[in-house]
Amino acid sequence: MGKTVKALVGTTAAFLVGSLLWTTPAQAAGQVPDDKTCKDEEAVKKLDTATQGGCVVINRRKGNCMACHQIAGISSGNIAPPLVAMKQRFPDKAKLRAQISNPHQFNPDSVMPPFGEHKILSPDEIDKVVEFVLTL
């Protein structure tokens, strides 16, 4: 590799690493928002849809997804599939939404609660959770 190519690769890598260091967790795709941010209801309303969904995911009285699913960056469970590569696993957003709303339609033996059918989450909350989960 020539000196110019090595310098370009090194500069590009430094830029990318620096960019990641300046991104706050609540704004970074694939990262769970912090609990403090999610507890401020007025602040949550100003966040992007995916981050609002992340707040529903970590709310123990709402989604509580991490109780069963492994989610990078937070203490989480291991009795359900890990939430990784979700865009690849669910390229059809409607199917992911249906899975969250009523997982028993796809697997009658699922232990996942039907968040929509049992009105644990509102349709708007489910939409936000879908947006967040697709960043994982």
Query: pLDDT means per 10 residues in the chain (136 residues)?
Result: 50 42 47 89 92 95 94 90 95 97 96 96 97 96
List of residues 6+ apart from 61 with CB closer than 8 A: none
132 closest CA partner among 73, 61, 51, 70: 51
pLDDT, residue 75, reads 87
Q: What is the DSSP string of 8-64?
A: HHHHHHHHHHHHHHTS-TTTSTT-PPPHHHHH-HHHHHTS-HHHHHHHHHH-TTTT-
d(CA 56, CA 62): 6
pLDDT, residue 28, reads 58
pLDDT, residue 63, reads 92
pLDDT, residue 85, reads 95
Q: Domains in the chain, please, with CATH?
A: 29-133 (1.10.760.10)
Quote the DSSP letter at residue 72: T
pTM recorded for the entire structure: 0.77
pLDDT, residue 24, reads 38
